[in-house]
A and B are shown apart, each in its own frame.
Chain A
């Protein structure tokens, strides 16, 4: 009986560890950035079309993507990149909140904050090579 209990406990602990390891793995950064680009373009369309519900959904998607972005930079202690991601995430949350309240004007101004953070981060950490981009730590 005790042996069975130990086996079950071991199996549970193993699954938890495997799940934690998967959770710590990040998606490739270029995939995250491509998703940000498409969600950001979609947000712009939604705001221009005064479609608050669609804008709120896009902004929520961006919030999650900027959380992933921040997690990518965290191990390297590159504080400015982490701060850009954090500010962009906060601005996306503000867009989402404003859109839910049908306040498209406020959503537009928070949208500009996201754009500014993206540009600043790209300026500091993205290097154009002619064949693609390099991530500068």
Chain B
């Protein structure tokens, strides 16, 4: 009789341990999502921006690879992205606020069509023994996700005449918990033409 009771109790204990373990593993699963790395996010954004001129013309005059580089840039953004970008029209005064990917894509598309030799770089800073550090400022957002900002120098040539320009600036990006950019602010100050001495 005692033996039967012992068997029942040990079986119940074993089952309880198994259920507890399963419950823990199911609770742990969502935590496996990788955290957003500000430095990598900044690097990725710059790489995709600089790739916007990586397309060619075929011998019969067709654009080759332009849609791909534009779509690669657009992959980063949430559908309802809000983007504040510099004027991209000679008649436009002040920044432009674009809402949604459809509007924002027009801006990305325009860069791919009008600019070549894109070389946007992250500014570096040296202090004490630390040489040429790319600084990316970041903060967790109260509603989830992460906000990052960094200084840049924009360098590009106009496609129509190959005149080269440079402008210092800064980028502010807000990423949602899904890793998509929900807000972008790109500030570029005065554009100076680069001319040979």
Contact = CB atoms under 8 A, between A and B. Distances in A.
A83 to B, nearest CB: 8
Interface string A118-137: 00000010010000001111
Contact of A137 (B55, B59, B60, B161): B55
Contacts of B162: 80, 124
Given A78-B160, A79-B160, A137-B159, A28 B60 contact: yes
Given A77-B160, A80-B161, A26 B60 contact: yes
A12 B162 CA distance: 45
Interface in B17-42: none
Given A80-B161, A80-B162, A136 B116 contact: yes
A29 B56 CA distance: 13
B159 A26 contact: no
B65 to A, nearest CB: 10
Interface in A8-48: 26, 28-31
Interface residues of B, number: 13
Contact of A135 (B57, B116, B159, B160): B57
Contacts of B61: 26, 29, 72, 75-76
Nearest to A124: B162
Contacts of A80: 160-162
**Can you list the 6 inter-chain pairs with the closest CB atoms, starting with the nearest?**
A135-B57, A28-B59, A29-B59, A134-B56, A79-B160, A30-B59
9 contacts: A28-B60, A29-B57, A29-B59, A76-B57, A79-B160, A80-B161, A135-B59, A136-B57, A137-B63
Given A31-B59, A72-B61, 10 more contacts: A26-B60, A26-B61, A28-B59, A29-B60, A29-B61, A30-B59, A135-B58, A136-B116, A137-B57, A137-B159
